[in-house]
Amino acid sequence: MTVKEFKLPDVGEGVAEGELVSWQVSPGDAVSEGDIVAEVETDKALVEVPSRYDGTVQELFAEPGDIVPVGDVIISFNVDEGAESGDAEAEAPDTEGEPGDSVDDAKTDTEEAAAAEAADTPEGRVFAPPAARKLARELGVDIAEVEGSGPGGRISESDVRAHHESAEAHDDTADETAVTPGEGGAPEAPTGAGASETVSADAGPRAERETTLAVPATRALAEELGVDIHAVPTEKTRDGEAFVEAEDVRAFAEREEEPAAEAGAEAEAGAESATAEPAREETVPYRGVRRTIGEQMATSKYTAPHVTHHDTAEIDTLVETREELKATAEEKGIRLTYMAFVLKAVVAGLKEYPILNSELDEEEGVIRLKNYYNIGIAVATDAGLMVPVVKNVDEKGLLELADEVQELATKARERSISPQEMQGGTFTITNFGAFGGEYATPIINYPETAIMGLGAIEQRPVVDDGEVVAAHTLPLSLAIDHRVIDGAEAAKFTNTVKEYLAEPTKLLL
């Protein structure tokens, strides 16, 4: 056995350090390449750190809450030399490394972390991130047999699920035509999602599944609460599989704990003083994502002179159109929200008024007009406001946009979103109406030059042919960088967005 030290890799562009949030392993645990060993929060996002080795955890070198610089050793493994992967040959020395090797080793670790996504197979190289490899192991899929849809044949989690479903469908067909005993043996009982599709929240306090889909953060929460994720009831599905979210895990854990909590409540009441006073003040660390959000907001507010234009769109026709399309979307497993329509309307407006899809480059003294449309969607999370970016909105249909928005928002709330999924935006939309209210003065997501805020969709009084009637309306708040955009352009852009929202069939053109 050889001791291999693993250093915190460069988990994001420009990231120099990270806060260790939690360990997913303990000394003595057996791990495989790609298994998540730790969660680290950088100033950009919560990042999962995968193992590069097959072996056993020997020692943990940091505690949750510690700030760890990139390149510092965080964990060591006992690795069987004969089982080491080929891409580990060029990695940093073990515990007997030579003096002065820290800088080079950090670079080597970074390079190897990227190289670890590819594994040699008899048929060549298989390119897949750790999350896809882990899902393949959970579903019993041979990663080498999966056809990748990404650049260079890169395999994604959706590719693994599609391969798994295809194999299950083939197995079901084989079961229907299986030979009888004596002609080759009896068919095996079906496993996986096909054997558990009838399970729902109405089936009782516990569900029994062999396959459950959940983001890594949800699985970590289930492990922390001592919950069997396969026992958590859910009616949600993703790609035909049962899909469990963090709220499902918490609700299940609370139901399980209620009897014990009630039994111990009286004893605790007698032990605690009824006159105990809460602390007058508490402190919350100002770092990580929260600090980055604050610094970004300050930079935007004190750099770009903000002007906010308010208006209201009448959207009775949009409400009716969405209601007509909801059933079709639900048949495809997609929740059709108003945001998909707003995205298309905003892009239509940006194409007519490209100055709002721009960036001011002060160093070169130019305004960069973007001819691509990557729209950020502000999402409220426990860590603060995150802005996942929907790429190439102009090239996607309503259902595709609705599905992608939902997926990115879930990742942001579960803290499993990658830094790459929050970069490259050209314009931002923030939906404060989801929490009530009509108008606001949103802060521009600098260095973009505009952001549109959405108020709550409600029936409000409007004037129609001299009479006051009730109509569904959507309040709009457009904040602009007045160095680049004039008030007249802001008003014209908003009018265009209103026009498309009032007559959503125009979006099909």
pLDDT digits (tens, 9 = 90+) for 409-424: 999 888 888 888 999 9
Which three-class secondary structure state does DSSP give residue 313? Answer: strand
Query: And the tokens for 50?
Result: 């995968």
pLDDT of residue 156: 73
The per-residue DSSP string of 148-198 comes to P-SGGG---HHHHHHHHHHHHHHHHHHHHTPPPTTTT-PPPPP-GGGGTTT
**Residue 140 banded pLDDT, cuts 50, 70, 90:** confident
Q: What is the pLDDT of residues 284-317, one digit of tens each?
A: 777 777 777 788 889 999 999 999 999 999 999 9
The kind and range of the H/E element at 461 are strand 458-464
In a domain, 273, yes or no: no
Instruction: Evaluate whether residue 196 is within a structural domain.
Output: no
> ∠209-214-216 over CA atoms, to 5°?
130
In 3D, which of 366, 387, 373 has the Cα closest to residue 431? Answer: 387
Residue with tokens 């035509």, as numbered in its chain? 177
Binning pLDDT at 50, 70 and 90, where does residue 122 land? very low
Distances (CA, A) of 183 to 177, 179, 187, 190: 12, 6, 11, 20
CATH of the domain at 251: 4.10.320.10
Dist. CA 384–CA 288, nearest whole Å: 10
Number of folded domains in the chain? 3
Tell me: do 210 and 308 sit in the same domain. no
**Alpha-carbon torsion 199, 203, 209, 214, what sign?**
positive
Is the same domain home to 360 and 497?
yes
Partnered with residue 459 across adjacent β-strands are: 472
Residue 222 and residue 360 in one domain: no
Instruction: Look up the CATH number of the domain holding residue 23.
Output: 2.40.50.100
Q: Could you confirm whether 164 is annotated as catalytic?
A: no
Domain that holds residue 29: 2-167
Cis peptide leading into 216, omega within 30 of 0? Answer: no
Residue 435 has what DSSP assignment? G
61 within some domain: yes
CA distance 445 to 459: 30
* Residues in Cβ contact with 375 at an 8 Å cutoff, skipping those fewer than 6 apart: 343, 346, 347, 389, 390, 393, 425, 426, 427, 428, 429
Mean pLDDT calculated for residue range 345-354: 97
Q: Is the model more confident about 103 or about 206?
A: 206
Phi/psi region, residue 486 (left: phi>0; alpha: psi -120 to 50; beta: rest), is beta
CA–CA gap between residue 84 and residue 103 (Å, rounded): 24
Q: Does 313 lie in the same domain as 368?
A: yes
Shared domain check, 411 and 296: yes
| 116, amino acid identity | A
How would residue 178 be classed by pLDDT, with cut points 50, 70 and 90?
Answer: very low
Same domain, 356 and 502: yes
The answer to whether residue 192 sits within a structural domain is no
3-state secondary structure of 24: coil
| CATH number, domain with residue 408 | 3.30.559.10
Check: CB of residue 241 under 8 Å from CB of residue 193: yes
Exposed, middle or buried by CB within 10 Å (0-12, 13-18, 19+), for 275? exposed
Give the model's pLDDT for residue 261: 55
Same domain, 230 and 320: no
Q: Tell me, yes or no, whether 186 lies in a domain.
A: no
CA distances for 145 relative to 114, 138, 141, 239, 427, angstroms: 21, 15, 8, 19, 40
Query: 92, 129, 2, 134: which is closest to 55 by C-alpha?
Result: 2
- Confidence bin at 273 (pLDDT 50/70/90): low
Does residue 270 belong to any structural domain of this protein?
no
Q: How far is residue 342's CA from residue 498's CA, in Å, rounded to a whole number?
A: 10
Q: Write the DSSP assignment of 417-430 as a string of letters.
A: --GGGG---SEEEE
Of the residues 230, 306, 310, 482, only one is catalytic, namely 482
Backbone dihedral angles phi then psi of residue 445, each to the nearest 5 degrees? -80, 80
pLDDT tens readout for residues 224-262: 888 888 888 888 877 667 888 888 888 888 777 665 555
Which residue from 448, 477, 482 is spatially nearest to 296, judged by alpha carbons? 448
For 58, the token pair is 């020997």
Q: Are residues 112 and 242 in the same domain?
A: no
Q: Please give the angle made by the CA atoms of 46, 51 and 54, to the nearest 5 degrees.
A: 160
Conformation bin of residue 226: beta by default, left when phi > 0, alpha when psi is -120 to 50: left
Q: What is the DSSP letter of 448?
A: B
Which pLDDT score, from 0 to 100, does residue 190 have? 41
Measured CA to CA, the distance from residue 315 to residue 32 in angstroms comes to 53
Residue 210 and residue 191 in contact, taking contact as beta carbons nearer than 8 Å: yes
Residues 217 and 350 in one domain: no
Distance CA 62, CA 58 (A): 13
More confident residue, 441 or 156: 441
Q: Residue 52 falls within a domain, yes or no?
A: yes
CB 92 within 8 A of CB 113: no
Closest C-alpha to 116, from 104, 99, 130: 130
Look-up: residue for tokens 């006073």? 277
pTM over cut 0.75: no
Question: 277 lies in a domain?
Answer: no
- One domain for residues 453 and 369: yes
pLDDT at 179: 39
C-alpha to C-alpha distances, 110 to 79, 90, 213, 222, 257, nearest whole angstrom: 20, 12, 29, 30, 43
Lowest mean pLDDT among 19-33, 81-95, 199-213, 437-451: 81-95
Same domain, 366 and 255: no
17 and 151 part of one domain: yes
